[in-house]
Structure 1
């Protein structure tokens, strides 16, 4: 059962990260085209209207898409100043505490993102130039935020089992 959950969490984290990467590449291409269009040297090209709005939307989406993979791969910033001084079980206990903290943080962020999205829907807020409903950006980011919560829950389970089994049964990525 553990392997199935592990495989599912890894698949979710990778798929969302790849989606965020594709969106980030699209934002980069759009930004380059907009800059080239502003120079007036390219025939038929002009600046992309609302380019900075699209960059905000795309980069925000990409950041949330990368969080589940960072969580799964244990790639978040860590301060390993004290870990050499602690025993194996103490380090595994710190992993459980850190994973619990990240799960709580991911849940709070997803919850607040949802509340922000509902607020934008209620007041019909739109972007300045493209007049895009602002809740679209929140909804897009929710995809990554929900995936982050799911993956963080798995990571807490993984580190808890690692602590319970003495670090033998479940290896890190």
Structure 2
């Protein structure tokens, strides 16, 4: 029995794609929790008169950027992105899957372009030695990780698009 049209092309439990993107998402979740704890400690420090954690906003910015990029691949693998299907609800499932597959491939191309741009930004950041303002944290590794995560997203979108094209009604 084939999956319903809304889940066709989605990764399934036990699938290698789901395993990889799940691990990445869990790491992103851990990073998000760490950022929330850092904000809590910083606010409590101010409230009790000890002052904020130095560079707290820089660390939170880095953590949020990394965690957002970490969540996108699993969202794509499970087809959890927001889709507007106002015009396709009355089309046959096969046509809807084909349209969704095309958009997955367009999304993959856009993410590949962003990953490529992030690689260029990583090179420039390494060359310039760009650091954060308060703590002096080197930003090149952050750019590199973001580039890798977006590349994983691009590959994931290609895989989901191809699965949609291969699925049968």
With structure 2 as the length reference, what TM-score do the two structures score? Answer: 0.87
Q: List aligned pairs for 1:14-163, cutoff 5 A.
A: 14-40=22-48, 45-162=50-167
Cα drift, residue 83 of structure 1: 1.8
- The Cα of 1:117 is off from its aligned counterpart by 0.9
User: 1:159-170 residue pairs with structure 2 within 5 A?
Assistant: 159-162=164-167, 166-167=168-169
- Listed one character per residue, the Cα deviations across residues 28-69 of structure 1 (whole Å, up to 9, x for unaligned) are 00010001001125xxx5411100100110000001001101
Deviation track 1:121-157 (CA, whole Å, cap 9, x = no partner) reads 1111111000111112212323322221221221122
Cα distance in 1 for partners of 2:106, 2:43 equals 41
Structure number having the greater helix percentage? 1
2-side partners of 1:140 and 1:88: how far apart?
Answer: 37
The CA distance in 1 between the partners of 2:144 and 2:61, in whole Å, is 14
Structure 2 gap segments, 5+ residues each: 1-10
Aligned residues: 158
Q: CA deviation at 1:160?
A: 1.6
Structure 1 unaligned spans of 5+: 168-173
How far apart, in 2, do the equivalents of 1:106 and 1:135 lie? 19
SS at 1:143 equivalent: helix
CA contact (8 A) 2:116 2:147 kept: no
Runs of 4+ in structure 1 off by over 6 angstroms are none
Contact 2:42 2:56 in 1 (8 A): yes
Contact 2:115 2:148 in 1 (8 A): no
CA deviation digits over 1:4-38, x for unaligned, max 9? 9x711111111111110000000000010001001
